[in-house]
Amino acid sequence: MILLRRLLGDVLRRQRQRQGRTLREVSSSARVSLGYLSEVERGQKEASSELLSAICDALDVRMSELMREVSDELALAELAQSAQATEPVPTSVRPMLGTVSVTGVPPERVTIKAPAEAVDVVAA
């Protein structure tokens, strides 16, 4: 089962780490407790839209950018889940995946790694 709160937490953590900031710095700036922010990042707590807005402001990241990254992670997770179940990728997911161009790699098999999961793409 794919948990949205876990994907959201992973993306928030990566955004914070890209900036080289600590949980303490972001929690203080967002006016949220350090423990609660930590639980959100670990996917243990659901963040309200108000809390997400405060965290995004503290990280100086647009919420739409955050949600776009979460959406991309979700699409990859769904793709991985479909591949594991040997089901075709649902038509509704395909437009979100976009086009990927791979050069210099044997066309027989390419592995796309998503957080904690891998998706195998086999050339037709």
> Model confidence over 46-98: pLDDT tens digits?
999 999 999 999 999 999 999 999 999 999 988 888 877 765 555 555 555 55
What pLDDT score was predicted for residue 1? 84
The average confidence (pLDDT) of the chain is 81
Which pLDDT belongs to residue 86? Answer: 63
**In angstroms, rounded to a whole number, what is the distance separating the alpha carbons of residues 51 and 55?**
6
- Pick from 116, 122, 46, 121: nearest CA to 77: 116
Distances (CA, A) of 17 to 2, 12, 25, 26, 92: 23, 9, 11, 11, 32
Closest-CA residue to 40 (of 14, 71, 5, 74): 5
pTM more than 0.85: no
Q: What is the pLDDT of residue 124?
A: 44
Q: Above 60 in pLDDT, residue 111?
A: no
